[in-house]
Amino acid sequence: MTLSPPTRKIIHVDCDCFYAAVEARDDSSLRGRPVAVGGDPHRRGVIATCNYPARHFGVHSAMASSTALRLCPDLVIVPPNFDKYRKVSAQIHEIFKRYTALIEPLSLDEAYLDVSQSEQFENSATRIAEAIRAEVRQHIGITVSAGVAPNKFLAKVASDWRKPDGLFVITPAQVDDFVASLPVKKISGVGRVTAEKMASLNLHTCGDLQGLSRLELAQAFGSFGERLYHLSRGEDNRPVQTGRRRKSVSVERTYDSDQPTLKEWLRELDSLLDKLKERFARLDQNYLISGLTAKVKYQDFVSLSCDMAGTDLDRAHFETLLEQLWERRQGPARLLGIGARLRDMKAPQQPDLFPEEWDRALRQRRGKT
């Protein structure tokens, strides 16, 4: 007999235009005006986020600041202050903790909360979400949107349903009807390319996907097909994870002037590698390197990346990656980045084919040779 997964009450909380909202909170002259947080438009800066008045003009995150100003000449671009945003995020999490200990942060401005066992408000997830939103507005001075649902997938969809400053609830009884009409682009992992493929197959809603078998979904979308099968039915058994661990570490730099040739790319590698080693050294001793990656973004904002196996931050490995990227597309780079995939020795592991080698690497990482 197959046991049904436990019924959960999940809240997804998402701050509205977080960085821009904090800046407008702290500077009354910004209120009601189009505001973005980002880099200097005269130094190839990029928009990190913007408020809704700015979005009305077509401004969005990851857009070049100079382009944003052309679209919205009255846009106020504020340089980011991440120390301040981290402090505000910590204050918001203190509010979360009054209602549950099961909190999974996704970033500074959003988190999942499992309130299935909360004793607050007679265990009403809707009333808890309302209380959290009211407390953040009163004590933090910004607004958040929230979604309430039986699982993480639907809670995240719901939090976006009535943005900004909104609350949307999907009860267990409403799941089937809700997901049947849900556009496929709302499914996490369905990007532009996958959405275009779905459209070509006349798959526009989760209800359309439900008409395909597991085999048909696997044939059309590979390993993603199994996840599509469940999400299109509103099924998501992932628990809220309170101890999220890193899967990678990386550094990147956007340049004031393009790096035109491979020689310049390689010249920048030393400073990038020094920063990457510093970040890796700050991690706890239970991480091992399981792969390496490099990234380049060109003048036209097209990005390419390249990966390879590797267990150490050797400069020669990253030279090889950058050379492979140069062979794939030659041209001036506005951004270069390098990083490492991580193996978390604290996480449950599959049986290892080479346990002695991994044990030796872990001892070396800990300095126990």
- Which H or E run contains 355? helix 355-365
Q: What's residue 191's pLDDT?
A: 82
- Confirm whether residue 256 is marked as ligand binding: no
Find where tokens 């809240």 sit. 11
What's the pTM?
0.71
Which two three-digit tokens encode residue 274? 């020094």
Q: Convert 121-137 into a string of H (helix), E (strand) and C (coil).
A: HHHCHHHHHHHHHHHHH
Q: Where are the domains of the chain?
A: 176-231, 248-365
Residues 273-317 pLDDT 10s: 988 988 887 776 778 899 999 999 988 888 899 999 888 999 999
Residue 226, pLDDT > 70, answer yes
Catalytic residue numbers, as ranges: 110
- Residue 17 confidence class, pLDDT cut points 50, 70, 90: very high
Q: Cis omega before residue 164 (within 30°)?
A: yes
Q: What's residue 329's pLDDT?
A: 93
Is residue 181 packed enough to be buried (19+ CB in 10 Å), middle (13-18) or exposed (0-12)?
exposed
In the CATH hierarchy, which top-level class contains the domain 176-231? mainly alpha
Residues 326-364 pLDDT 10s: 999 999 998 999 999 998 776 544 444 444 544 555 555
Q: What's residue 167's pLDDT?
A: 98
Q: Which of 5-9, 138-142, 280-284, 365-369 has the lowest mean pLDDT?
A: 365-369
Q: Which of 1-5, 57-61, 80-84, 97-101 has the lowest mean pLDDT?
A: 1-5
Separation of alpha carbons 295 and 54, rounded Å: 30
- Confirm whether residue 27 is marked as ligand binding: no
Residues 161-188 pLDDT 10s: 999 999 999 999 999 999 999 999 999 8
Q: What's residue 364's pLDDT?
A: 57
Classified by CATH at the fold level, domain 248-365 comes out as: Dna Ligase; domain 1 (3.30.1490)
- Do the strands 333-344 and 287-298 form a parallel or antiparallel pair, or are they unpaired? antiparallel
